[in-house]
Structure 1
């Protein structure tokens, strides 16, 4: 189904704006989440403990060596997950907005996209 003139014009405008501000899109912060220094340290320590457990599992023989090796690997995996998991930033200065009430579903897709575009341009 071909686009109407208004839809095509809006799409072209969005593409131009995206190309013009591409660096802003790439370097934009990912909302209210950031890596925590504390989690990085804890994750690194857990990773090192897991490596130690894995080495100990290789040195030990028998069933205990396998168990220690698996636990060491699990500790390494958990350490990486702890290190790279972002935490929520807390800012007392800005109260969080509640999600907007749902609109009618009768609005067309392009009307909703136009509304979202206008809100972004207004900085909301």
Structure 2
């Protein structure tokens, strides 16, 4: 469902306000984390399942220490699953990346605006 003119103006105003007041945040918002590593997600999920098993076993044998250990293992599994991929960081010796121009089509919002415009043109 397309936005009304008033909603579009409000969205544009909010975007301009964000760029004007929080330019540092906008430029670094997506740079902190890389793409997810599916290996670490799978391994983290397995560790979480082991932690859940330990927690259930602790309830069955009525040992709170085993339950705490199970909870810590589950927490470690979640943290492991959330780790970014090591491949997302740009290697120093990668020459193909160095040959790309610095401006590769704009920032995230420009790309999203282009996609929105194309979608609106296709609906007409």
When normalised by structure 2's length, the TM-score is 0.48
The structure having more radius of gyration, on CA atoms, is 1
Which one has a larger percent helix, Structure 1 or Structure 2?
A: 2
